Chains A and B, each alone.
Chain A
Amino acid sequence: MIAMLAISEGAKRSALAQIEAMGIDRIIVFSKRPSLTGKSESSNSASMIERYGLTQRDRSHIERMDNVDQVIGLFDVRKKILKGLTRTNLKLIGCDINFLNESPAFLEKGRWFTPADFKNNVPVCVIGKNVRREMFELGDTNVVGEMLRVDDKVYRIIGIINNPYESQYPEIGGQNDMILIPQTTGRAFYKDYAFYREGRSSKIIRVEFDLFLVKVNDTAYIDNTAKRLSGYLEKTHGEIADWGMVVPFELLKQQEQTQNIFTIVMGSIAGISLIVGGIGIMNIMLASVFERRKEIGTRRALGAQKSDILLQFLIETVFLTSLGGVIGIAVGVGIARTITYYSGMPTVYSWWSIGLSLVISSLVGVIFGTYPAYQAAQQNPITVLRSE
């Protein structure tokens, strides 16, 4: 039971931490390539330029909305990042200067961008910790100051960031896989264009922003803000679904509900096993009462009250079940630790769950020990004394 609780609690914590890492006080709006079906495809293939997603206009509008504190924009340059000849899944991202502050990542080495970097379109980059692993040799620990070539441009690495939650943003992936450059640098170097090969035809894709982190002032009204935001986007983007929205806060609530159901199911299983175990204990104690009826008779002859006998057997049962509880806790904690050790899956065993288990195990003793103890007390001393 402890193990079950620990696993479910651990799963819950890690899922919640993931979501919380995205920030519960923000709404994530992202660009999505419209599905290439039916009319849109023919109309798109007519023009060489495919244009979709969030725009600067959207951004300035969202910034003016109620309850919106700030908007952080990210855009994917859509360059293939190669290590030698292999394509990596890293992404070159132009970001706002506040991106680091508003994300769960922290600076591991070096520095973050300065306003001057932005103003002067300086070719510098801050890389996620996975980038270092993929792009550099194993021994290369201090890569700050080194140059990183992406396509035909070279960037000087000024810092390494680490997002300990490994949280993923929709469409553009995890922060640890990003090569971040100042947004202004990105715009100056690449404009908003990206060449894109698809089968035999190549295309130019134009996306102004891939992601907005919309930070709200008051989480209490986040639902409302999200609704208005999606209303606005529906109106301006028309029927083409080239955007998507995630509200971590909503996810959090959903996740909590799912987890609660999970915990309830786990709890019921544990409860049923407690009942089964309790009935087992009861049978053992009844057998024990039968086996020890001579002792009961002797004790009664020596002056034990019925209540003394009752208490004796009840205490024995409670002791037995509490011992079982202690062993169960030890085994449960052991299992939880083993799981964590081998799978890295976090398990959480809280003090309250251990305390609760102890209380429940002695309670099982009281509930299922009462009947056998009552039986013991009701034995007729004459007949049990004669028995062998």
Chain B
Amino acid sequence: MTTEAHGGDIVRLIDIRKTYITGDLRVPVLKGINATVSRGEFVGFIGTSGSGKSTLLNILGMLDVPTAGEYFLEDVEVGQLSDVEQATIRNRKIGFIFQSFNLFAYLSVEQNIEVPMLYARIPGRIRRKRALELARRVGLGHRLGHRPTQLSGGECQRIAIARALSNQPAFILADEPTGNLDEKTSNEIMELFHELNREQGVTIVMVTHNPALGPHYDKIIRLRDGRIDDTPFEWEVRGTPK
């Protein structure tokens, strides 16, 4: 097992295992995951429910710690850090995007974008400037004063993306970002991800069960039963499903 640094990789997972223990029952969920995400890559983790996808997402997002194995984030082993350090890294290095947007209904769009910067103790003037820039980048510069409840689902997800980018993270971790959107909006959001990836070189890690998103990714990592499976899905063999 190698642990030495490897320049271009943002994320490196080495033999990640996670076993849930309930009483005498040991449920192995992740059974040794090895994967890397390079800078500027658009990676999709695809797996059915029960494949360990959510657990892997939690570990990638540093909300959970692996039972065994090593997780390098920009060449720093982050798997076993303390609560406070984990929160700080989550704040600076990871941009979360959720299936149900998770915007704060009582805050304005601008304030929503500013939340991660608030926790990074960035001064108000800079926060507001950056919030405006980000809102413009996702095409919603004119909506800063609105409440999330006044926006459509697609617009909400754009705001969530802006929020995820606000601390210029190492990578964006998106959990089924199109799960709550219709096909058209979902394509628009995926297009936005592509734009960010291509034009600004944002590294994106997307976790999904939806094989239809497969063609969007630079690299597909297939999860089956807690392991990485190199056999291509049926649709990959047959061509893009529609």
Chain B residues, Cβ within 8 Å of A382: 58, 63-64
Chain B residues, Cβ within 8 Å of A295: 102, 104
| B96, CB-defined interface residue at 8 Å | yes
Could you tell me if A304 and B63 are in contact, using CB atoms closer than 8 angstroms?
A: no
CB within 8 Å of B: which A261-295 residues: 294-295
The majority secondary structure among interface residues of chain B is helix
- Interface residues of B, CB < 8 Å — how many? 21
- Look across to chain A and name the residue whose beta carbon is closest to the beta carbon of B167: A303
Cα A302 to Cα B84 in complex, Å, equals 13
The majority secondary structure among interface residues of chain A is helix
Chain B residues, Cβ within 8 Å of A305: 83-84, 87-88, 119
- Look across to chain A and name the residue whose beta carbon is closest to the beta carbon of B84: A305
Could you tell me if B83 and A302 are in contact, using CB atoms closer than 8 angstroms?
A: no
Known: A294-B102, A385-B98. A304 touches B58 (CB 8 A): no
Cα A299 to Cα B119 in complex, Å, equals 9
| B120, CB-defined interface residue at 8 Å | yes
| A300, CB-defined interface residue at 8 Å | yes
Chain A residues, Cβ within 8 Å of B39: none
Could you tell me if B87 and A304 are in contact, using CB atoms closer than 8 angstroms?
A: yes
Chain A residues, Cβ within 8 Å of B163: 302
Cα A298 to Cα B98 in complex, Å, equals 9
| B111, CB-defined interface residue at 8 Å | no
Chain A residues, Cβ within 8 Å of B90: 300-303
Shortest CB-to-CB span from B143 to chain A, Å, is 20
Shortest CB-to-CB span from A293 to chain B, Å, is 12
Could you tell me if A298 and B102 are in contact, using CB atoms closer than 8 angstroms?
A: yes
Could you tell me if B119 and A308 are in contact, using CB atoms closer than 8 angstroms?
A: yes
Chain A residues, Cβ within 8 Å of B119: 299, 302-305, 308
Please pick, from A294, A297, A303, A385, the residue contacting B87 in the complex, using a CB distance under 8 A.
A303
Chain B residues, Cβ within 8 Å of A303: 87-88, 90-92, 116, 119-120, 167
Known: A299-B115, A303-B167, A308-B119. A385 touches B91 (CB 8 A): no
Could you tell me if A302 and B63 are in contact, using CB atoms closer than 8 angstroms?
A: no
- Look across to chain B and name the residue whose beta carbon is closest to the beta carbon of A307: B84
Cα A88 to Cα B163 in complex, Å, equals 87
Known: A305-B84, A306-B83. A300 touches B63 (CB 8 A): yes
Cα A40 to Cα B120 in complex, Å, equals 96
| A381, CB-defined interface residue at 8 Å | yes
User: Lowest 8 A-B CB distances belong to which pairs?
Assistant: A303-B91, A298-B102, A303-B119, A301-B96, A302-B116, A303-B90, A305-B87, A381-B63
Question: What are 29 A-B contacts defined by CB distance under 8 Å?
Answer: A294-B102, A295-B102, A298-B104, A299-B119, A300-B90, A301-B61, A301-B63, A301-B90, A301-B96, A301-B98, A302-B115, A303-B90, A303-B91, A303-B92, A303-B167, A304-B87, A304-B91, A304-B119, A305-B83, A305-B87, A305-B88, A305-B119, A306-B84, A306-B87, A381-B63, A382-B58, A382-B63, A382-B64, A385-B102
Instruction: With A303-B91, A306-B83 given, name 19 new contacts (CB 8 A).
Output: A294-B102, A295-B102, A297-B102, A298-B98, A299-B115, A301-B63, A301-B90, A301-B96, A302-B91, A302-B116, A302-B163, A303-B92, A303-B116, A304-B119, A305-B87, A306-B87, A382-B63, A382-B64, A385-B63
A interface vs B, CB < 8 Å? 294-295, 297-306, 308, 381-382, 385
